[in-house]
Amino acid sequence: MKNIAHLLFEARMLKEIPRSGYHFLGAGRESVAEHSFMITFIAFAMAEMEPTADGGRLISMCLIHDLPEARTGDLNYVQKNYVSSDEQKAVEDATRDIPFGGVITDLIREYNEAATLEARLAHDADQIAFILDLKALADIGHEPPRKWLPPVLKRLKTQTGQRLAQSIMETEWDSWWLKNYIDRPE
């Protein structure tokens, strides 16, 4: 049981680790844990949109896909040109004495290989979380996200991800609450 407690404390560290790509964007910020929540929620919606996907597997994959970053930190695209992390070793070390460690290892491997529908949807959920942040920042007047959006949109691999991203791009970030407060009939 103590090993599971250790794993939970390790996962908790993701709340303290900032996502490093936002430094290059010049606006916005989030922790790895906040990111994991967002893509897991997106995966939940995608699982409902894509009935052939194993929703539990997809959601689980998104929840734990960045667990190794509790040990390695978050490396962005620029940093990965100069520094590499041994994510597999990090996962193996974190899960070695956990009864369900093989499940975590298998899910992260599946995510990284991106060969299954669930893994492709998980990758799209990862990009859609970034698209949501970029779109929200662009909607409030930040210019750099407008440069970043086209290449991020091109990364989407599934029709479900592409349809969802298109809808996001056609929707203002604050329209969900404006319709409830400003556009409400009196």
Task: For residue 24, name the pLDDT band (cuts at 50, 70, 90).
Answer: confident
Domain count, the chain: 1
Q: Taking Cα atoms as reference points, which of 20, 28, 116, 102 lies closest to residue 64?
A: 102
Residue 47 domain flag: yes
Question: Could you list the residue range(s) of the whole structural domain that residue 109 is in?
Answer: 2-181
Q: Helix, strand, or coil here: 31?
A: strand
3-state secondary structure of 18: strand
152 assigned to some structural domain:
yes
For the chain, give percent helix, strand, coil, nearest 5: 70, 0, 30
* Single pTM value for the model: 0.92
For 73-121, write each residue's pLDDT tens digit: 888 888 889 999 999 999 999 999 999 999 999 999 999 999 999 999 9
Structural domain contains residue 186: no
